[in-house]
Amino acid sequence: MVMNLYILFFISLPEALLNLYIMLRLAGESKKLKFKNINNTLRFLITIALMLLGSWIIRPLAPNVVINILLHSIVYTLLISLIYKTNLIKSAFCVSLVLLLYSTVENLYIRFIIAYISHGIENFNSNYQMFIVYSLPYRFAQIAAIIFLIKYEIVLDIAKIDKSFNRLFVICMYLLTCLEYCFSYLFDMYFEKMSLFHQIIFSIAISIMAFITSLLVFKFIYIIVRGLLTGGYKQYQELEMDSKYAFKKVYTLIKDNNINGAEEILENLIDIKKTKDTEVKK
């Protein structure tokens, strides 16, 4: 019980706070992160409390790490969808991305702590006071992700681009996360039975897998951001060319004393006639 409380308040609580902030930023709900608004604050605290309650129930019931992660993802997805009224696919999209970040960062170092410092999963779990220290790299990764999202707000709308692509992305992220944890679970359980050669090969394989996964995620974000920027710049160029053409046409008509023609173009541009008709009806 003491161990669970320690993990709940010193590991799960800060993790949930930062994860929820990241997920809401990814979902484009940054306005609901303005905590001067009492409703936003209450909504955030209620979500955190329910996330912790979910962790409190899931951890003892699902000791298997893969099932544990999947159950957490389902709970987080439902909470964000219900409390923040977001689309279910968008919520799953954001949760899957955060969970993949978590698994990738964790698998870069935790497996080696379990194997070479704690000398086994049982010793690792019994020394739970050190969990705060072990969780620091992921905390730094969470803070870095938050800074990135705040600085480049264009990433917040990535989930709105293509619904079919979102579903495919969510499935791929969960498959990658489960695959990472399956390998990690096997490594933790059978490490002591392996020869030194197999230990080294398995360790390198997990590191490479985590590194490649992180590269794929960052490449995905880069492609999306580049696509949005390129598309936005093309639209700006088209608008600029159309505006120049329209103004050139108006200038020519005015120069030729064709005021009516110039007025007609301007009316079409700014929709004056519709506005006048609406005012007359009112």
Q: Which residues contact 91 (CB under 8 A, 6 or more apart)?
A: 23, 27, 76, 77, 78, 80, 81, 84
pLDDT top residue among 209 and 48: 48
For residue 7, give the amino acid letter.
I
The answer to whether residue 14 scores a pLDDT higher than 90 is yes
The pLDDT score that the predictor gives to residue 2 is: 43
The pLDDT score that the predictor gives to residue 264 is: 78
Side-chain-side CA neighbours of 157 within 13 Å: the count stands at 7
Return the top range by mean pLDDT from 76-85, 118-127, 167-176, 195-204.
76-85
Span 247-263, pLDDT tens digits: 777 778 777 777 777 77
Span 45-103, pLDDT tens digits: 999 999 999 888 887 776 677 788 888 889 999 999 999 988 888 888 888 888 878 88
| pLDDT confidence band for 116 (50 / 70 / 90) | confident
CA distance linking residue 125 with residue 224, whole number of Å: 39
The answer to whether residue 186 scores a pLDDT higher than 80 is no
DSSP-derived secondary structure for the chain: -HHHHHHIIIIIHHHHHHHHHHHHHHTT-GGGG-TTSHHHHHHHHHHHHHHHHHHHHHHHH--SHHHHHHHHHHHHHHHHHHHS---HHHHHHHHHHHHHHHHHHHHTTHHHIIIIISSSHHHHHH-GGGHHHHTHHHHHHHHHHHHHHHH-GGGGGGGGS-HHHHHHHHHHHHHHHHHHHHHHHHHHHHTTTS-HHHHHHHHHHHHHHHHHHHHHHHHHHHHHHHHHHHHHHHHHHHHHHHHHHHHHHHHHHHHTT-HHHHHHHHHHHHTHHHHHHHHHH-
CA distance linking residue 128 with residue 7, whole number of Å: 8
The pLDDT score that the predictor gives to residue 274 is: 46
pLDDT top residue among 228 and 151: 151
The answer to whether residue 246 scores a pLDDT higher than 60 is yes
Length of the chain: 282
DSSP-derived secondary structure for 168-180: HHHHHHHHHHHHH
The pLDDT score that the predictor gives to residue 153 is: 65
- Terminal Cα-to-Cα distance of the chain (whole angstroms): 69
| pLDDT confidence band for 276 (50 / 70 / 90) | very low
Q: Which residues contact 70 (CB under 8 A, 6 or more apart)?
A: 174, 178
| pLDDT confidence band for 3 (50 / 70 / 90) | very low
Q: How much is the mean pLDDT over the chain?
A: 77
The pLDDT score that the predictor gives to residue 108 is: 78
User: What share of the chain in percent tops pLDDT 90?
Assistant: 15
The answer to whether residue 27 scores a pLDDT higher than 70 is yes
| pLDDT confidence band for 269 (50 / 70 / 90) | low
Q: Is the pTM of this model over 0.75?
A: no
CA distance linking residue 109 with residue 116, whole number of Å: 11
| pLDDT confidence band for 234 (50 / 70 / 90) | low
CA distance linking residue 138 with residue 144, whole number of Å: 10
pLDDT top residue among 243 and 16: 16
Across the range 180-208, mean pLDDT stands at 75
